[in-house]
Amino acid sequence: MNSWLSVLPPILAIAIALWRKEVVIALVVGIFSAEFLLADFNLIQGFIGTLERCVAVFSDADNTRVLVFGLLVGAVLELMRISGGVSAFVQKLAHSGLTQTKRQVSWLASLIGLGIFVETSMSCLTAGVVSQSLFDKFKMSRARLAFIVDSTCAPVSVLVLLNGWGAYILRLLEGQSHADPLGVMIGGIAYNFYPILVLLMVFFTATTGKVFGPMKESEEKLAHGEGQREEVPPSKARFMVVPLFFLVFGMIGFMFMTGWARLTPEQQNLPVGSLLLAAIQKGQGAKAVLWAVSLSLVVSWILLRVQKVFKHKEMIDHSYRGMAHLMPVVLIMLLSFAIGSSCKELGTGTYVSGLVGSFLPAFLVAPLLFLSAAFMSFTTGTSWGTFAILIPVGLPLASAMGLPEPMLLAAVLGGGVFGDHCSPISDTTLISSLASGCDHLEHVRTQIPYALVAAGATTVLYLLLGLFV
C-alpha cells in the first residue's frame, strides 16, 4: 500500500500510548488498524488478521528467542535480588569507595554501557543489573538509569562499529556495489552527530546531576517516597556476581561460537585478534542472549542450592515471580514484533523513503534524510530495517548531487538510531526498561525530550553542513 495510509497504524499506536498511557492497548489498536487496511477495510478479516499476526510472531525463531529471553532474565534478576546478592554487591561497592556519590554511580552506569559495545542487549542488561540498587540507594529514579542504559546502547554501537552493527552496515554498502564501503563507513563516524550528542548529554547529566522535563518529575516523586522498592537484606555478593559473570561472558562466548560457524575458511585462518572480531561481528545476537541467560539461570540455581539458600520449590516460586514481573514487557515485545511485521507488509518504510526525492535542494538532503530515517525508525521500531531501506536511497543522492557520501550515510544511521533509542516499540528501548526495572512508558516519556533536543541540534548541524559543504 504505497500511500499515506501506511503510516497511520504506527502513528496511531504511538499517539494512543502517549495519550492513554496504555501501551498494550495502543499496540493492539495499531495492529488492528494495519490489518484492517491490508484487508481492504473488512472488519472481520482485520480482527482475524490481528490474531494471526500475533501468532505469526512465533514463526520467526529469533523473535521467539527474544521473548523467551525476556522471561528467563526475569527469573535470573529475581534470584539475584531475593537471595540478597544484589544488596551485598551494592554494599561491597560502597565500601570500595567507587560509589560514594551520585556522580560516581551515574558514571559507573555510563562507563559500563560505553565499554560493552559488542552487543546491545548485553550492554543494557549489564549496566542495568549492576546499577539498579545503586540508583535506589542514592534516590535516583529508574527512569534516569533507563536513559543512561538506553543512551549508551545503540548510540555507542553505531559509533564504534566493531560489532554486528558494523558488519551489517558494511554488507549494505557492499550491496550498493560501492568501491570503498569501509572508507565510507569509517568516514561517516565524524558526521554521525545524533549519537555523539546523546552521549554528551548522558555524561553531562552524570556529571552535573541536572535533569529536565518529565525526568525531573520522576526524580521529585522518588524524593517524596513514591516508587521506592522493597529492600532485601544483604547476604553474599557471589549470588549476583557469579550469574552475572556467566551472563556477560556467556554472551561474548556464544556470539563467537555462532559467528565462527558463519566464517569462511579464509577468515578462520586470520590472526587471533582479527578472528575474534570477525566471528563476533557475524554472531547471532538472539541465540547468544538466550543461551547466555539460560546458562546464567542454571548457574544461579545450582549456586543457591549448593549454598542451601533456597529449597527447590522456593526457587521455582521465585523464578515464576520474576517471570511474572516481566510478563508485561514480554507482551509489549510480542505486540511490537507484530506491528512491525504489519507495517512492513503495508510498506510504511518504503512510503516514507519515497518522500525524499532528488528534486530537493542539495542543502536539504542530509537533514531530510536524517528526519525521514528518524520518523521511519520511530514508527516501525527498527533501525536496521530503516538502514536497509534508506541507505540505497541516500548514496545515489550523494553521487547525483555531489554531496559527501559519509555525511549522507551518517544522516541515515543517526536517524535510524533515534527510533531505536526512543520508540516505544523498539526492542532496545524495551530491553532498557526491562534491565533498569523501569516502567516502559515512563522510560519512553522521560527520554523523548532528551532525544528531541539531540535530534533538533543534529538537524541544524546537517542543515549548516549542507549550506557550506
Q: Going residue by residue through the chain (469 aa), what tens digit of pLDDT does each one get? A: 667 788 888 888 878 877 777 778 888 998 999 999 999 999 999 999 999 999 999 998 888 988 898 899 889 988 988 888 877 887 787 777 778 889 999 999 999 888 877 667 778 888 888 888 889 888 899 999 999 999 998 899 899 876 668 767 877 787 665 667 878 888 999 999 999 999 999 999 999 999 999 998 888 877 665 555 555 666 788 998 899 889 888 888 898 898 888 888 888 888 877 888 788 777 887 888 889 889 999 999 999 999 988 888 999 999 999 899 888 878 887 888 888 788 888 887 677 666 665 456 888 889 999 998 898 888 877 788 788 778 877 777 787 778 889 999 999 999 999 988 888 888 889 889 988 888 888 999 999 999 999 999 999 999 999 888 6
The grid coordinates of residue 192 equal 554521525
Q: Are 2 and 354 in contact (CB under 8 A)?
A: yes
The grid coordinates of residue 227 equal 516508587
| Rg of the chain on CA atoms, in Å | 22
Query: How buried is 96 (Cβ within 10 angstroms: 0-12 exposed, 13-18 middle, 19+ buried)?
Result: exposed
**Is the whole-model pTM more than 0.75?**
yes
Q: Are 30 and 12 in contact (CB under 8 A)?
A: yes
Q: Report the distance separating Cα 275 and Cα 273, nearest Å.
A: 5
Q: Report the distance separating Cα 150 and Cα 123, nearest Å.
A: 9
Terminal C-alpha separation, the chain:
37
Nearest to 67 by CA among 57, 79, 77: 57
Distance of CA 336 to the CA centre of its chain: 13
Q: Hey, where are the domains in the chain? A: 61-162+190-328
Residue written as cell 534470584?
A: 79
Instruction: Compute CA distances 440 → 150, 164, 407, 444, whole Å.
Output: 12, 26, 33, 6
